[in-house]
Structure formats: structure tokens, C-alpha cells
Amino acid sequence: MRRFSVPEMSCGHCKAAIEKAVSRADSAARVAVDLEKRTVEIDSTLDDAALLAAIRAEGYEAVPA
């Protein structure tokens, strides 16, 4: 699993938007969101750049954590 920090993620809507974005990029990806820590853990065959691009396409800045 890879972990990303998403500082602007703060609510259930943010969580759902990020999960949906990752799922569109890789339907087999497993996503675990921690709103308190504002992190997302993703198990996917995609590389970090593709995962970050999917998250950013939803309007959220993300960086490897």
C-alpha cells in the first residue's frame, strides 16, 4: 500500500470523491481513507504518478506521505 497526504480532505464528500477518482483509474484498487490524519492508502497496480493525477483531477492536492 502506498500512502498519500491530502491536506484539503476534511469530510465524507472529500473521501467519496477521492475513492471514486481512484476507482475510475483502477477499478481493482483498494482505498483506505483516514480523515483525521488526512491520508489515503491505496493498493493498486498503478504507479504513484497515475494515482496522484487521479486525486488531483478531483481538485485535491496530494503528495506521497
pLDDT tier at 61 (50, 70, 90 boundaries)? very high
47: CATH: 3.30.70.100
Domain total in the chain: 1
- Give the three-class secondary structure for 27: coil
| pTM for this model (two decimals) | 0.92
Q: Where are the alpha helices (DSSP H) in 1-65?
A: 12-25, 48-57
Domain range for 38 is 2-64
Residue 12: the pLDDT is: 96
State the residue for C-alpha cell 481512484.
22
Residue 54: the pLDDT is: 97
Residue 26: the pLDDT is: 97
Residues contacting residue 13 through CB under 8 Å, at least 6 positions apart: none
